[in-house]
Amino acid sequence: MAKILQIETATQVCSVALSIDGKTVLIKEETGQNLHASRLTLFINEVMKSAGYTYSDLDAIAVSKGPGSYTGLRIGVSTAKGLCYALEKPLISIETLEMMAAGFIHENPDYSGLICPMIDARRMEVYTAVFDAKLNVLEPTSAKIIDETSFADWFRENQITFFGDGAAKCAETLSRPNASFNNANFNSAHYMSKLANKVFEKADFENVAYFEPFYLKDFVVTQPKKKV
């Protein structure tokens, strides 16, 4: 039985799950600003204790690699790598948008249109990708500034469902008869289980020493405005 500890910190959701052979058996998560540093290790300990397993019982550590929040990803990946070093366990990385798309498919098995997860970036920019209902990548992950022409080619013959914390701000701009918006949360370690198990079976592990989050864009430090 492959026991995998799964960590998702790419957005404001701090999420930890334990899966066995691709099925989630326990999950702990919370949504809010700046939670990851204070909650992540607590959630990991709670999940392991509730499951009745020791850390040495784990077969691998999986982490949502991004894109997403620079700080959230850094905390999640650093924690995952630390566990891998300490426990001498392999590291699995799952792209965040793929995890979100897998979650949507899991919860909507009869859906046959296209799937477009969105993670909020700045202003009208989002991190996004397009998948079909079988999780095939139709448009790879990129940072897009959303306007009235976005996804025009896909809209011509397809129903598209948008979701994620970047979708709401795009709803008015992307309003079409064949566009729909789903408000459910798919930024969850729960939806990493099947994907992580497939990677484990293939032994397609990351190099713990050199692995870095998929930031997609460089981190920009902004200076606070001076008070007059």
Tell the burial category of 151 from Cβ atoms under 10 Å away from its Cβ (0-12, 13-18, 19+). buried
What is the pLDDT at residue 123?
Answer: 85
Specify if 64 maps to a domain: yes
CATH of the domain at 74: 3.30.420.40
Specify if 114 maps to a domain: yes
pLDDT-based confidence at residue 113 (cuts at 50, 70, 90)? very high
Are 46 and 153 part of one and the same domain? no
Specify if 56 maps to a domain: yes
Per-residue pLDDT reduced to its tens digit, 50-84: 999 999 999 999 999 999 999 999 999 999 999 99
Are 22 and 129 part of one and the same domain? no
Per-residue pLDDT reduced to its tens digit, 135-190: 999 999 999 999 999 999 999 999 999 999 999 999 999 999 999 999 999 999 99
46 alpha carbon, distance to own chain's centre:
21
Q: What is the CA radius of gyration of the chain?
A: 18
pLDDT at residue 19 tops 60: yes
Are 12 and 77 part of one and the same domain? yes
Are 80 and 7 part of one and the same domain? yes
Specify if 37 maps to a domain: yes
Specify if 121 maps to a domain: yes
Domain housing 77: 3-95+187-202
Range in 96-100, 130-134, 223-227 with the lowest mean pLDDT: 223-227
State how many domains the chain has.
2
Strands 114-120 and 160-163, sheet pairing: parallel
pLDDT at residue 5 tops 60: yes
pTM here? Answer: 0.93
Are 60 and 162 part of one and the same domain? no
